[in-house]
Amino acid sequence: MKQQLAALFAVVLVFGAGSAGAASKGMDRIASDYPTKPVRMLIGFPPGGGNDAMARTIGPKLADKFGRGMVIDNRPGAGGNLAADLTAKAPADGYTILLVSSSHPIQGLLKKNLPYDPYKDFAGVAQLVVYRSLLVVHPRQSMTTIQNVIDLARAKPGQLNFASSGNGTGSHLAGELFRVAANVNMTHVPYKGGGQAVLDLLAGRVEMMFSPLVPVYPQIKAQRLRPIAVTSNNRSRLLPELPTIAESGVQGYEFVSWYAVLAPAGTPKAIVAKLNAAINEALRLPDVTEKLQGQDMDIINSTPQQFDGVRAALLKKWEKIVKQTGIQAD
């Protein structure tokens, strides 16, 4: 009997190993052939904002690399969470990916009852760039320095408005951090995308905005918006005369952001690796490098594992901040 059981166990082991080997070879073949059709890149905001601009910078390069096309699919709503939910529930086959900013991993800390887990339901593909934001105001405003902003906010509690591209977005969080760090009472005005927020800022319907450089730089050059300071610890390469918020007197204030690409959790690692390699190759193209650096962005060539580490560290950092400040985005 023992000999029969041993023989049967050996057969099972051989069969199991053969099945695993066949599955592995099958997955390798799928990854090798990938993509066989156009890939859809979802963006949670309308055209005209920073997320959209980044997607339209790298999307065509990926289409050229793969030769299968890249569908840029804007799905604005709920501060980017509509597109994130669609991606989380999409087949994990590499044909639906999501371009996000650094506010994405912490949405679960800011909003109750999200239909997805911002960290566990996604596979990190690649971190693209790191960038700083600017505090900009309508030129009709008297504010020219950070101290002017603080003085006005304290003189008129709750009456100074700052626009954002939506609840829980980077432009919202930058403003909330400023509110806490500077000990001022300001009112947040969320929009359905950075483009709409900038339009209302230009029209004077809101007083100011913490914005990435890309959507507002042409307006700054045309003197239709006035920059006050940058949110990072280092000054901008394009606007070196602007002080940082920290050096303007709000000690300890720093807010930097990034753009990145995610896929649904469970996407085969070989496909994630192939996407990662293609994205990093696109970022190294001279015209892409020149364009992004010309927008004051620092290019990151990360592995999926490195990017997962960045996401985890950001989540840990904001868990502490949200607990201390009570920031919410509902």
Q: What tens digit of pLDDT does each residue of 121-133 get?
A: 999 999 999 999 9
Sign of CA dihedral 268, 271, 277, 278: negative
Q: Which of 10-14, 23-27, 199-203, 247-251 has the lowest mean pLDDT?
A: 10-14
The count of C-alpha atoms lying within 13 angstroms of the C-alpha of 226, restricted to the half-sphere facing its C-beta, is 15
Q: Name the range with the highest mean pLDDT among 19-23, 262-266, 323-327.
A: 262-266
Residue pair 310/102 in contact (Cβ under 8 Å)? The answer is: no
- In the prediction, which pLDDT does 188 show? 95
- In the prediction, which pLDDT does 25 show? 57
- In the prediction, which pLDDT does 263 show? 99
Mean pLDDT of 215-237: 95
3-state secondary structure of 59: helix
The CATH class that applies to domain 132-230 reads alpha beta
Structure tokens at 68: 């299968």
Structure tokens at 66: 């793969």
Angle subtended by helix axes 304-325 and 269-283, to nearest 10: 90
Q: Which pTM was predicted?
A: 0.79
Structure tokens at 155: 């003189």
pLDDT at 11 over 50: no
Give the strand pairing for 226-230 and 96-101: unpaired
Containing 134, the helix (H) or strand (E) segment is strand 122-137
Give the strand pairing for 297-299 and 122-137: antiparallel
Just give the CATH number of 36-128+258-325. 3.40.190.150
Confidence of residue 9 (pLDDT cuts 50, 70, 90): very low
Structure tokens at 273: 């690796």
Q: What tens digit of pLDDT does each residue of 149-199 get?
A: 999 999 999 999 999 988 888 999 999 999 999 999 999 999 988 889 999
Name the segment(s) of the chain with CATH classification 3.40.190.150. Answer: 36-128+258-325
> Which tops the pLDDT comparison, 326 or 92?
92
CA-to-CA dists, residue 47 to 35, 44, 75, 224, angstroms:
26, 10, 10, 21
Name the segment(s) of the chain with CATH classification 3.40.190.10. Answer: 132-230
Task: Tell me whether residue 71 is exposed, middle or buried, using C-beta atoms within 10 angstroms of its C-beta: 0 to 12, 13 to 18, 19 or more.
Answer: middle
Q: What tens digit of pLDDT does each residue of 74-115 get?
A: 999 887 899 999 999 999 999 999 999 999 999 999 988 899
> Which tops the pLDDT comparison, 14 or 209?
209
